[in-house]
Amino acid sequence: MTIESNQLTDSRNHAILDRFCMEILPRIHDKVESLTLQACFLPCVLRATNYLQLRKLVIINLEFSMACHIFNEKSPFIYVLKQQISDLVVTISDEILEESNMKLLTDIYKRIFGLVTNLKYLDIDGSDTYALSRSLLTGLPSTTCCSSSIVHLRIKMQNIDDCLYLLDGRLSQLHTLIITLYCIHDPVQIRLRSQKIIRHSLKIMNNMTNPLRLKCFSIYAYHRTTEFDSLVIPLLRRMIHLEKLTLSLRVGGKNSFIDGTYLNNYILSQMPRLHTFHFDIVTEYVRINEQQPKPTPDDIRRTFTERGHHVDCYIDYDFYKLGRCHVYSLELNTERRFSPIRT
């Protein structure tokens, strides 16, 4: 049964939902292991009966106001959340465009980690208009977003400091982290005080457990970063137990295109257990030495294919002879790729 939230005013849909909750769910309640619900239907479905076998809950289009109602100690569903749910998937529908919404988002993260105490798998997604203006975890105690049971986490945060805080030991059983960042660091702030920002991030990194025990790590960032060498590589080199790695990044501030040789020398050679590597990397604003031949797409592809990677690559140069190279794994989900460029 699929009823969109904007169809609730239809009396026929009300009748269908009532019958589903009052007649059908009570008959099958002891067999229900997973529920996927639009957030607006969650209260009536959870109140309909007891779901003794319920372990997975997927909540779609959750607004901040309802999230605050569901994830609190006085919630009528607190027993189910605390004692039964081990897999939780939440899609937040509200846009994050103001400071007040950022505070609400941080509060919801804290509530979920703090209340759903038997979680093993947590996936918190949301609108792509997450215009986060600051780190969500900077300045908060290490008990924020902590868990001794979560092994798999997919989450959106603001910058790499948030990622580093999540890896500082507060998630002691974590083996998979899939993180989407608004930026590695705010490009404007980096231009103003890059050394101070980088030193702060490295200080957080040095406080992390070393080596990290992650087996699977994926990082996606919307905005271009100039901190690939100074922050991203040092973080990845700590992940010596990694078996799966995914990178989706736009990189600036380099004198050459990122290719397979570079990635192998600086990252992959430090990961002896790695068996799966997917990537989508754009190197931008690279000034190529006019005394040397310009790299071609085939040149870049070859540095990957000779190591067994299936890739495609595009390169272009602008009026100022600045180069842009886009290289990506063919296996990578197309929804995660940056828009390709063409020569």
Query: Model confidence over 85-142: pLDDT tens digits?
Result: 999 999 998 876 667 778 888 899 999 999 998 999 999 987 665 567 788 899 899 9
pLDDT digits (tens, 9 = 90+) for 44-60: 999 999 999 999 999 99
Question: Mean pLDDT over all residues of the chain?
Answer: 89
Q: Which helix (H) or strand (E) holds 342?
A: none
CB 111 within 8 A of CB 83: no
Whether the pLDDT of residue 13 is over 70: the answer is no
Grade residue 3 by pLDDT with cuts at 50, 70 and 90.
Answer: very low
Per-residue pLDDT tens for 276-330? 999 999 999 998 877 778 899 999 999 999 999 999 999 998 877 899 999 999 9
The residue type of 277 is F
The whole-number average pLDDT for the span 186-193 is 90
Q: What is the pTM of this model?
A: 0.91
Kindly report the backbone phi and psi dihedral angles of residue 171, in degrees, each rounded to the nearest multiple of 5, phi listed first: -115, 80
Q: Which of 204, 196, 138, 197 is nearest to 167 (CA)?
A: 204
Q: What six digits make up the tokens of 18?
A: 């009532």
pLDDT at position 42 over 60: yes
Outline where the chain has alpha helix (H). Answer: 11-19, 25-28, 42-48, 64-70, 78-79, 99-115, 160-166, 187-206, 233-236, 260-266, 297-305
CB of 289 closer than 8 Å to CB of 342:
no
The Cβ of residue 88 has, within 10 Å, a number of other Cβ atoms equal to 22
Kindly indicate the confidence band of residue 161, based on its pLDDT and cuts at 50, 70 and 90: very high
Per-residue pLDDT at 2: 46
Between CA 153 and CA 116 the distance in angstroms is: 14
Quick one: tokens of 216?
């699977």
The pLDDT tens digits for 278-288 are: 999 999 999 88
**What is the Cα–Cα distance from 245 to 274, expressed in whole angstroms?**
8
Q: Which amino acid is at 126?
A: G
Short-list 108, 116, 107, CA closest to 148? 116
Residue 319 is predicted with a pLDDT of 78
